[in-house]
Structures are given as structure tokens and as C-alpha cells.
Amino acid sequence: MKPIKLLLVSPCFGTYGGIEAFLAAVADSVRGEPDFTVKLCFKKVKGFALHPGLAAMLQHESVLFVDRAGRELANAIRWADIVHLQNASPDVIALAKLFGKRIVLTIHNYMRREWSLHRFLWRIGARIVDARWYNSDFVWQTWEGNRKRRRSRKVPTVSKLPQGWVAPNERRGFVFAGRWIANKGIETLIEAYSSANLDRAAWPLTLIGDGPLRPPIQARINKQPIGGLEITGFVDDAMKAERMKNARWIVIPPNTKEDLGLTAIEARNLGVPCIITRDGGLPEAAGRWSLVCDPNDPPALAHLLEKAAAMNEAEYAEHANRTHEELQRELVPMDFYPRAYRRVIAGREIE
């Protein structure tokens, strides 16, 4: 049987992030099927620079880096039987339609209300694909409102989730893992932690990650040290998972209209509950067993840190077990994708 040729396409800044990790996971899942062959295609956006972390992640993949609306992109789409696009790039959708290719779309980012030509073209493109998958109800609502269209559904996006389980009574402290950029809440977290009434030896805070905010934050901490605080910088996935599964709580306090929140899903797969802000799709990702406050509110976040520290072992163990169990009922298994591609190729509705 002639294999189905799948092209996974995404805009890319050249860095390793959630979308890139998701594409690698989909590629790995589909590659295990006997009737598929897979290529990854990253469309370079303005300011693209290939980061070593992304290059290392893709070293065993069949991957292209192409310019938008260029010949290489057109040739890649012409090669494919079905295109799975990340976000509604009009050039990819137009080329797929021009060449008569099936195209499915995963939308990762919420739709802003302000009108622009780009957003108008994204909306038009999203309407003419063969299937639309939104990574959260929050994102879906911003695109389609209360009148959901045919061939649309919520499909939470995940990467290869970390595995493992540490007994709840052996865990310790809080962990933040994310990019050090504006509105991810790291400044709010540091302020909240410094003011919270905690035994900092028993309740340390580990900050994982890097980004443009790290130098000024590091300078501030050097000037006014905070007991119990550890900054690791960037770590690989194995070390990140090790730190996360040994934490009592993962803290995710953005003020960005977060589209979903992969870190929360990773934590819950390890049975580690989350302390979050009520931001975009993050409450969906963190689940009902998280502790929640409003964004950009250090006193409220400090209160949650204190509440978490005061929780007794039985109550904490229930949060740990329940958040893991709840996640397993929410996730769509990765074999959803090859099954969906086959149905789209055959012109059938997706189950």
C-alpha cells in the first residue's frame, strides 16, 4: 500500500517551545504507523535564528526550514497527501488548496478582538480547512464564540509528557519552570515568595528557565537576597522533569491570556498539583485540584503559597492523586492523530 505522506507545518522563531515539542510528539506517534511517512516543515518568521536546543531536538527528524510563501514551502506541500498546520498561516492554507491537498489545523493561540487584515485572513483560512482543532476551550471561544462550527473540536496539545512518581511525603518546595519574559509572572512570584510567611528552609522556591528578564531579576536578588531561592537557569528535559516530580507544587502565575499551559499538564502527569493564576486557558490545563488566584496580585499569590505550605499530608496526597487521575481522563491519546488523518483523507467525519 502506498504510504500516506504527512507534512507537519508550523511557523517558527528557531527556538524550542511547546509547539515544536508537540510536532515532534505527533511525528513520533505517526511514524510508528505502517501506512505513513512524515516530514516536518518549519516556516521561518521575522527574526528567526536557529537555537542549539531546537537543532538538537530535531537531529533525527526529516525537517525543512523554509521561507514563507516560497518555492521550498510550495514543493513540500505539493509532496504531501495531508498537511497538519499549526495556527492559520494564510500562505500554507492557500497553497494546500491550490494543490488540492487535505489540510487540518491546530490553533494554539487565542484570537484577539482588535481587527486587522492578518486576523481577517486567519479567520477566513480557518473556515476552509478540513478540520479545526483548538488546544483549549478558551482559545476555541475566542475564535468561534458560542456558535461552534462543524468540523471543530477541542484537542489539548501535549508533547512527550514526563513520567515518574515520587511519594507525596517525600516532595519538597515550589518550582517555577518557564521562559523569563514579560507577563509570565516571575516577578509577581518572587515578590509573593519574599513576602509570604513561610519556613524557607522547608519550603524553597526553585526557578527554572532563562530569558531576557533574568539579568535584571538576578541583579535585584543579588542586591536583596531572598532565603530559600534557587535559580538553575536553563536545564534539559530530564533535569526539568526530575525537579518537577520532586516538588510539592508547581507555580504558574502568568498574566498573558495563556492559551493552555503545557507546564501544568506536565506537572499533573507527575502527580504534582499546581498553583496558578486565573489566566486564559491555564485553569483548564491545571485542573480542578489546583489553587487559583487572580493574575498580577502578589499578596493573593503569597496567600496561596502559605495555604499550600499549611496543607496536611492527607489533603495534599488527595490533591496529588486526584490531579493526576483527572488529567488522564482529559487527554486525547496520541493515536488520535493518525486515526484522524486517515478519516480526513477518506473524506469522513472525525470520530
Contact 296/188 with Cβ under 8 angstroms?
A: yes
Q: The cell 482529559 sits on which residue?
A: 330
Provide the residue ranges of all domains of the chain, joining segments of one domain with +.
Answer: 4-158+332-345, 168-330
Topology (CATH) of 168-330: Rossmann fold (3.40.50)
CA distance from start to end of the chain: 24
Render pLDDT for 174-217 as a digit per residue (tens, 0 to 9): 999 998 999 999 999 999 999 999 999 999 999 999 989 999 99
How far does Cα 330 stand from its chain's mean position? 15
Say what the pTM is: 0.89
**DSSP percent split of the chain into helix, strand, coil, nearest 5:** 40, 20, 40
Render pLDDT for 30-67 as a digit per residue (tens, 0 to 9): 998 999 999 999 999 888 888 777 877 777 677 889 98
Phi, psi of 146 (to 5 degrees): -85, -10
* C-alpha closest to that of 45 among 21, 18, 9: 9
Task: State yes or no: pLDDT of 248 exceeds 70.
Answer: yes
Contact 79/7 with Cβ under 8 angstroms?
A: yes
What mean pLDDT comes out for the span 316-327?
A: 98
CATH class of the domain defined by 4-158+332-345? alpha beta
pLDDT computed for residue 270 by the predictor: 98
Name the β-bridge partners of 176. Answer: 207
Query: How far is CA 316 from each of CA 16, 104, 170, rounded to the nearest angstrom?
Result: 33, 41, 12
The cell for 138 is 478558551
